[in-house]
A and B are shown apart, each in its own frame.
Chain A
């Protein structure tokens, strides 16, 4: 039994909240990819060159990236030759198997934040401008408040107009505190204040919001590096988690971003936002392939509750299996 039929069977029985919201929110992207994949197998009863050309188009248009796409195609060609598989439907199943095991082979597959046994757990959230860092932080705070943790927010985005107000509004809605600093002040000093407060009050989770920065701006990356050091000095071992937020609409620059941020502050996870749009988020596979960093959560809307644990099965199911 190929993975695709395995998943079909699994999900037809399994009806949980997770799959439902994936199914709902990603209906659009899923339809696209799966319909095309289905059409592909109908169009080409027997695999030929055109089949692979179309497969290439499908993968590239999902933002999987040229390199990974070419690699996947090469491997699929190899497999089809070796196993003498010419039936396109069979090959589709192998493809999904391949994507699945390819992801799994690249490292661990965590989702939830790993909490420290003693003292505050510090989560640093980084990313380029406009990916949804602040909204994601609110969603994460909500998630862990629901789990009975105490949460403190630190608005170390002292640069963008309206940034700390935005976090403040979320904090008010969540009824938690947020530590802010004056406009244009040193983000490190705001972080220092926040962490000192967290230590004193024995907060479970501190989430540090920094201003969006393009990863090719040296001075901003230097600033981030300093912030990272200051956090580590204030609480040894911190930040315990560093999440890179990536917009699902991002193209191949996503890999470059991930690499650049990973150099400055070792990433422990990726959160993909705006997955409720029409983008396929193929960058998930590309980033995993290049860096091995696991996708921890995905954002599916603008509400506090619109954050789900990343579930590879659901993701691939959503991406590949038709209605």
Chain B
């Protein structure tokens, strides 16, 4: 996720403090200096950083800090609270209209991800919130922008208002709204062309669209990689259109996203969604408090839980669980479970949500995912009987399987060892069922390879 570098930085700074019994003026100064550099490197706006540091300093120097037993904990809390305040706090959701279509206008610079976001919003509202969604393509300038939205609309299975490129965006928006009204859509999402904030003609066009259709939501789409100027861009759009929200995109990159967050601070416009990948399902509701946690390296457990709940096919999971409990758990079931986990997206993205695991390199992630693939290849080479009852494996069977899939016997052994581990865990599960106590280190994540 976004802030891992900042997370690492801060935890390193805090580690330095951990050894010290008292928080002194000098060691706090050093820490604040490092926080300042870290925030600036994260593209947090210069002025926001200045305010942030001053606030932290004031609060820290103030009262109990020096008398607290653990000064680094105290500072962690202050920094966390300040970050949360800076991010806006609370949850910010779309307000849906009761008896008419909710009209959402997407605006932003070129390449910030408006069209992709339009598709993701449509997917989210259609599949998660069960809304009747209509898309409208009002980017008549960029070559193939409409084709792009058309393909996305098709993949999300949502109708698209497509008037081609010879109709003015204002007309397209008007007509789309009319259709949304007449055909009783719940939501209309209008994609507009990217524009620079100083292009008066194109900015005026947005203003006209706004005046004509009076959208319920005007969302500014901002690239998480944006630099210091992001705040000025947001101000320009906000001054003209009175934005109702911000969507931060490309948070699956390693940009720390500081600039997008300073927008919240400088304009007061809440961040509503975050884009976390290239698939249509890769859009999350933005949670400021959790983001602050993440910045401080506390992980984002809630997001993880939600993600798991959403993506795991519940029936499939139950089937596996039942088999686990009844002791009829075979290699196929292990594979099914591993696939479930793979379905949740790249393993790396998931692992990074778990607290205490900030240091997994992309190479390690790749290795973990490769391991999963290898498991599948090996299991695919086994007979049905072997899969259902792995205890029949002897050396000759192992050799046959290894030859069959072009692997080594040791690779086959690894699969079987993993299976044994899971079986062992199942026994503990049984124990848990009987005693009501959860064995340590068990969170249903049995499919994760060990590092």
Contact = CB atoms under 8 A, between A and B. Distances in A.
A162 B110 contact: no
A280 B227 CA distance: 10
A218 B362 CA distance: 6
Interface in B276-333: 278
Interface in B240-264: 250, 252-256, 258-259
Nearest to B5: A256
A51 B256 CA distance: 29
A218 B143 contact: no
B233 interface: yes
A277 B226 CA distance: 13
A4 to B, nearest CB: 23
Interface string A270-284: 000010111110110
B109 A249 contact: yes
B111 A218 contact: no
- Interface size range of chain A in the complex: 35 or more
Chain A contact residues: helix, strand, loop or mixed: loop
Contacts of B253: 128, 214-216, 253
B256 A274 contact: no
Interface string A259-272: 00000000000000
A181 interface: no
B258 A251 contact: yes
Interface string A293-315: 00000000010000000000000
Contacts, number: 149
Contacts of A282: 227
Contact of A130 (B111, B145, B198): B111
Interface in A158-194: 159-163, 165-166, 168-170
Interface in B45-82: 45-46
A271 to B, nearest CB: 14
A214 B224 CA distance: 12
B228 A251 contact: yes
B362 A216 contact: yes
A57 B50 CA distance: 10
A318 B207 CA distance: 31
A131 B111 contact: yes
Contacts of B250: 128-130, 214
B37 A278 contact: no
B350 interface: no
Given A215-B253, A216-B254, A253-B253, A278 B229 contact: yes
A60 B42 CA distance: 12
B225 A253 contact: yes
A63 B255 CA distance: 14
Contacts of A28: 198
B128 interface: no
Nearest to B254: A216
Contacts of A218: 362-363, 365-366
B64 to A, nearest CB: 31
Contact of B113 (A129, A159, A169, A283): A129
Interface string A36-59: 000000000000000000000100
A128 B43 CA distance: 17
A63 B113 contact: no
Contacts of A302: 110, 141-142
A132 interface: yes
B40 interface: yes
B430 interface: no
A128 B278 CA distance: 12
B127 interface: no
B197 interface: yes
A161 B147 contact: yes
Interface of A: 28, 57, 60-63, 65-67, 70, 128-132, 159-163, 165-166, 168-170, 214-219, 222, 247, 249-254, 256-257, 274, 276-280, 282-283, 302
Interface of B: 37, 40-43, 45-46, 109-113, 115, 141-152, 155, 196-198, 223, 225-230, 232-233, 250, 252-256, 258-259, 278, 346, 362-363, 365-366
7 contacts: A67-B41, A129-B278, A166-B148, A249-B109, A249-B230, A274-B109, A277-B198
Given A160-B148, A252-B227, 7 more contacts: A60-B40, A128-B253, A166-B143, A214-B252, A218-B363, A277-B233, A282-B227
5 closest residue pairs by CB, A with B: A162-B148, A130-B111, A251-B227, A251-B43, A166-B144
